[in-house]
């Protein structure tokens, strides 16, 4: 635990990186339901939104490594690019969820059900995008708050208490015993 805290003292941005990685992995592992939903509904812009989420999620990782470099101040232009890409991801999540909601409501208005046992992936995609949206907001907040929680982590005492430190007696180094 002490080694982890020492690592976080030196590189507090690792917490934000973990959040971005979790968000990217969550979307990547659920990409099948998004692509199946796009194929089933075929709403205008859904494919582009799904592609944009995946692309900018991957590019956020690259931008993150350009923002925070060990023992160097953060790169402000790259930080702006990172925030813009995260905003695009959040916009695409909301847009895609809106397209799903519109298609489901349109099907109900016509007296049919879009979500059946064979199309449960639409509901999974809708719920997954909601979670991904929350993860994206958390990621942005953690990146923005790196200086705040970095300063708090630096205040944690990680020094090791050594017993009898500075109270050693005379040490005999001669070979005679």
Q: What is the CATH number of the domain that holds 36?
A: 1.20.120
pLDDT tens-digit profile of 54-94? 999 999 999 999 998 877 888 899 999 999 999 999 999 99
Residue 10: what pLDDT?
79
Number of domains the chain contains:
1
**pLDDT category of residue 118 using cuts at 50, 70 and 90:** confident
In a domain, 84, yes or no: yes
Mean pLDDT computed over every residue of the chain: 87
Q: Indicate if the pLDDT at residue 24 is higher than 90.
A: yes
**For residue 39, is it within any domain?**
yes
Degrees, nearest 5: CA angle 34-105-24:
20
> Is residue 97 in some structural domain?
yes
CA distances in angstroms from 88 to 47, 57, 66, 92, listed in the order given: 15, 10, 19, 6
* pLDDT score of 163: 65
- Residue 160 domain flag: no
Residue 37 located in a structural domain: yes
Task: Give pLDDT, residue 130.
Answer: 96
In terms of residue numbers, what domain contains 114? 2-154
Give the tokens for residue 86. 């995260």
Contact 4/149 with Cβ under 8 angstroms? Answer: no
| Burial tier of 98 (Cβ tally within 10 Å: 0-12, 13-18, 19+) | middle
- 53 domain residue, yes or no: yes
Q: What is the pLDDT of residues 134-160, one digit of tens each?
A: 999 999 999 999 989 888 878 877 676
DSSP per position, 67-136: H--TTS---HHHHHHHHHHHHHHHHHHHHHHHHHHHHHHHHHHTT--S--GGGHHHHHHHHHHHHHHHHH
Q: For residue 164, is it within any domain? A: no
Q: Is residue 114 part of a domain?
A: yes
């Amino acid at each position: 635990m002490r080694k982890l805290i020492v690592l976080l003292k030196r590189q507090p941005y690792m917490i934000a990186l973990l959040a971005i990685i979790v968000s990217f992995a969550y979307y990547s592992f659920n990409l099948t339901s998004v692509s199946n939903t796009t194929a089933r509904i075929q709403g205008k812009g859904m494919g582009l939104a799904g592609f944009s989420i995946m692309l900018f999620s991957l590019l956020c990782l690259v931008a993150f490594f350009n923002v925070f470099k060990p023992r160097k101040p953060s790169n402000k232009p790259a930080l702006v690019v990172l925030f813009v890409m995260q905003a695009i991801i959040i916009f695409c999540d909301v847009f895609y969820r809106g397209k799903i909601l519109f298609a489901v409501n349109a099907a109900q208005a016509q007296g049919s059900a879009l979500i059946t046992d064979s199309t449960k992936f639409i509901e999974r995609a809708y719920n997954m995008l909601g979670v991904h949206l929350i993860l994206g907001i958390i990621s942005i907040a953690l990146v923005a708050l790196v200086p705040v929680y970095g300063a708090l982590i630096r205040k944690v005492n990680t020094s090791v208490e050594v017993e009898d430190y500075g109270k050693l007696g005379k040490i005999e180094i001669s070979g005679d015993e």
